[in-house]
A = this chain, B = another copy of it.
Amino acid sequence: MAVQSTELILDELKKLLGEERATSNDTVRDLHGRDESYHAVRPADIVVFPETTDEVSAIVKTAAKHKVPIVPFGLGSSLEGHVIPYNGGITIDFSLMNKILEIREDDFLVRVQPGVTRTQLNKELKKRGLFFSVDPGADATLGGMAATNASGTTTVKYGVMRDQVRDLEVVLADGSVIHTGSLAAKSASGLHLNGLFVGSEGTLGCFTELTLRVYGIPEQIAAARASFPTIDDAVTAVVSIQQAGVPISRVELVDEPSMQQVNRHAGTDYPVKPTLFLEFSGNVAGLRQDIEFTKEIVSDLGCDNLEFEMDQEGMNRLWEARHHLAYSYIHSNPGRKMMVTDVCVPISELAGAVHHARETVDRMGLIGGITGHVGDGNFHIILMIDMNNPEEVKKSEQLNEAIVSYALDRNGTCTGEHGVGVGKLKYQAREHGAALAVMETIKRALDPDHLMNPGKLFSPSKEDA
């Protein structure tokens, strides 16, 4: 934005929100110009801190009047540049909208403002024997998690963020306010706006309130770890367990070189083999039977070391290697920046995809660990890149392209859980084919001036360039 128009708009916003909650202070602008990814930094022009839906609506109307972009901002933990305001405009920081508004225990529902984080919510829920299921690792805001359709290790049992959203209050591009759902557990009424807005990455509107599904804490949790001769055996084990109808609540794969890296870093002596980290939940009698059954299945596949624990300390110990994976790579590679790939393939293609990923990483001489949410077919390469080495940066981009290409050839997706942002834009046409035009039609219809988080999820329009 031109300096003059920035000042004019800031003045208007200060009138609306007061001196304190609308700013172009350099430190604040910088803090809102980055996320947790390797994507280039671009400071915000103006940052505002609304406290109510009405204020968000007024901010969006101001942006619409001046035809400047709106970028919603949670905690900046996104991994594909979602919140970086490459086209400037007004960044809406939701950190002051961080209240848990209502816990409806009998309905298994909570109503929260978008700035509430998942651990903040879980702390309150625990007192009532309830929990919120989606765990993407980072302590992200629930608004951000809904905007990117976050998921994580528990998805195999409880589903992704979209599955938890019962209703959203959304401020649209024209400043009007809608509700996308209701409090009913299911509905066959109207188009499914809940699903459409979840994962829309701020491009269709800003979330100002979320009603989310929560669950009763299971009586008992059991953790297990099992290593296998090959990745294929490990994946086959997971499929067999699921085909037998045994409910798994988490199942993570760590590949052989990554186990070695953990041992080297932590001084541990885990078997250097493809390893599954599992979690089951239910009642004690049922869990014991599930685990006995699981033992039989994995032993047929060459695993002679299934260990399991039911107390918290023992469970933590069993899963330690998985928890330490990213950290062990970060700590062992000071000065390098983390880039994480994020494809998801049909489960039958997962073993092949992990082999391909490992071969490609090694052939290119890159440093990277591989971990996968096996139950979903989603896996990550945690790459450690020297950003000052243009050759290595280029190679890591080529690697990402090769991984995505492999996944798309098998009817998978370029992003299982991190979202498109700016990092996965170039794969949208190939992945969605003719459906991309339908998405663009919807975007144009709901945001004709292309002001809602422009350049994310959808390729920049000509005016943005």
Contacts and interface: CB of A to CB of B under 8 A. Distances in A.
A196 interface: yes
Interface of A: 104-109, 129-130, 148-151, 155, 159-160, 162-163, 172, 176-180, 182-196, 198-200, 215-219, 239, 242-247, 281-290, 293, 342, 344-348, 375-378, 407, 410-420, 424, 427-428, 431-436, 438-439, 441-446, 457
Contacts of A288: 285
A47 B444 CA distance: 35
A160 B443 CA distance: 27
Contacts of A178: 433-435, 438
Given A192-B195, A286-B287, A348-B106, A413 B242 contact: no
A106 B239 contact: yes
Copy tally for this chain in the complex stands at: 2
A377 B130 CA distance: 19
A288 B283 CA distance: 10
A185 B377 contact: yes
B243 A216 contact: yes
Contacts of A242: 108, 216
13 contacts: A159-B163, A162-B192, A172-B438, A183-B346, A186-B376, A186-B413, A187-B413, A190-B420, A190-B439, A192-B195, A216-B243, A219-B245, A245-B281
A184 B344 contact: yes
Contacts of A410: 183
A312 B285 CA distance: 23
A190 B445 contact: no
Interface centre among A177, A189, A286, by most B CB within 10 Å? A189
